Amino acid sequence: MASSSESNTRPIRLADIAKAAGVSHGTASNVFSRPEIVREEVRERVKAAAEAMGYAGPDPKGRLLRAGKVNAIGVATTEPLSYFFDDPFARAMMAGISEACDATGAGIALVSAGNQEKLAWNIQSALVDGFILFCIEGGSRLVELTRERKLPFVALELGFDDDTVSAIGVDNVAGARLAAQHLAELGHRRFAVLALPFADGSTGLVSPEKVRTALYTGTRDRLVGYFEAFSRYGVDTAGIPVYETENDEASTRAGLETIFASAAQPTAILAMSDRIAMVAIEWLAARGIAVPGDVSVVGFDGVPDAALCDPPLTTVAQPIAEIGRRAARTILDFDGTVRRETLGVELVVRASSGPPPKAA
């Protein structure tokens, strides 16, 4: 009371309030964290002192150290932060994560960075109870970085054989088989595959040997699924071009150029992501190639946008939101065990696939 009301010199601590109210810091702490156990008269006195001194309430920084739990889960990726708001797959996933977090009142911390060193630092210093990793490109590095933090974490997409890391993903082989089978049953016999990355930083046509050594098991499994269906339907697999893209517009277009430059043009394209599929549809339309009249396209993922494009995309739908929910629960209910879940997928037939042209 004697001094000025708002001194700008130094933030007010709980101890200051305690002294001003003439109680111990223990009691002052109780006033805020368990008000019911302190006598009303004292409680009011302390609150009044806090009010008078402009105390903002117990600083979470202090509480955190003592409590140990942050009550927030970190979601990390090697892409820039805006990826979470731009990419349809990421958004659907975040919706599922959000739901689980809302239910328990946990927060979400987005972790990423422009460059590599910053990313490493941000993962090391993120104030979270655990991580959900978007393992797209550079996934293995991300896993290594996170592992060092020694916090619970779960990888999205089981892109790693490593059984020591928790992961949630889908049955890629079955999904891919479903997609290829659908096209084969429609009568297609000439295929092309637009693949996701096999390893970091490479693109282009992929040789059969490289397929076997694919770093990313997700990519490999989808390919396995495709080829399983091919051989079951007696499709000649020798001439099927498999083009490795970076799941972006540029590399997909390059792949299409390559594929359609060859003599035997495909009547069906199997894209390993909806992103790729939608770029393909756009590219084909621009070339005057009818979808599905001349060429059918089947995607993979089942992002919401796929239903809206023109023509609506036939695709293998992953339960994206459910994956997100489970990933969040894996961190929130962490029990020290490794949890690896494989969810089922579903073929969603829309207008981008149909029988091959008669002329063929």
Partner DNA sequence: AGCAAAATTTGAATCGATCCAACAAAGGTG
Partner DNA sequence: CACCTTTGTTGGATCGATTCAAATTTTGCT
What does the binding site for its own copies look like in residue numbers (CB under 8 A)?
A: 11, 54, 56-57, 60-65, 68, 70-72, 80-82, 84-86, 91, 94-95, 98-99, 101-103, 105, 107-114, 118, 121-122, 124-127, 148-151
Residue 125: CB atoms within 10 A of its CB come to 9
Q: Which does 29 bind (CB under 5 to 8 A by kind): its own copies, DNA, none?
A: DNA
- The distance of closest approach from Cβ of residue 291 to its own copies in the complex, given in angstroms and rounded to an integer, is 19
Q: Which does 199 bind (CB under 5 to 8 A by kind): its own copies, DNA, none?
A: none
Which tokens go with 8?
A: 């700008």
Q: Which does 91 bind (CB under 5 to 8 A by kind): DNA, its own copies, none?
A: its own copies
Residue 217: CB atoms within 10 A of its CB come to 17
- The distance of closest approach from Cβ of residue 137 to its own copies in the complex, given in angstroms and rounded to an integer, is 17
- The distance of closest approach from Cβ of residue 94 to its own copies in the complex, given in angstroms and rounded to an integer, is 4
Please identify, using beta-carbon distances, which residue of 67 and 81 lies nearer to DNA: 67
Please identify, using beta-carbon distances, which residue of 93 and 126 lies nearer to DNA: 126
Please identify, using beta-carbon distances, which residue of 127 and 308 lies nearer to DNA: 127
Residue 85 φ/ψ region, left for φ over 0, alpha for ψ in the -120 to 50 degree band, beta for the rest: alpha
CA distance 188 to 48: 79
* CA atoms within 13 Å, Cβ hemisphere of 24: 4
Please identify, using beta-carbon distances, which residue of 150 and 358 lies nearer to DNA: 150
Q: Which does 109 bind (CB under 5 to 8 A by kind): DNA, its own copies, none?
A: its own copies
Task: Write phi, then psi, for 243 (nearest 5 degrees).
Answer: -110, 125
Please identify, using beta-carbon distances, which residue of 118 and 287 lies nearer to DNA: 118
- The distance of closest approach from Cβ of residue 56 to its own copies in the complex, given in angstroms and rounded to an integer, is 4
Give the footprint of DNA on this chain (CB under 7 A): 11, 13-15, 22-27, 29-30, 32-33, 37-39, 41-42, 57-59, 61-63, 65-68
- The distance of closest approach from Cβ of residue 33 to its own copies in the complex, given in angstroms and rounded to an integer, is 11
CA distance 51 to 43: 12
Q: Which does 51 bind (CB under 5 to 8 A by kind): its own copies, DNA, none?
A: none
CA distance 289 to 312: 16
Q: Which does 148 bind (CB under 5 to 8 A by kind): DNA, its own copies, none?
A: its own copies
Q: Which does 125 bind (CB under 5 to 8 A by kind): its own copies, DNA, none?
A: its own copies
Please identify, using beta-carbon distances, which residue of 298 and 320 lies nearer to its own copies: 320
- The distance of closest approach from Cβ of residue 22 to DNA in the complex, given in angstroms and rounded to an integer, is 7
Residue 261: CB atoms within 10 A of its CB come to 8
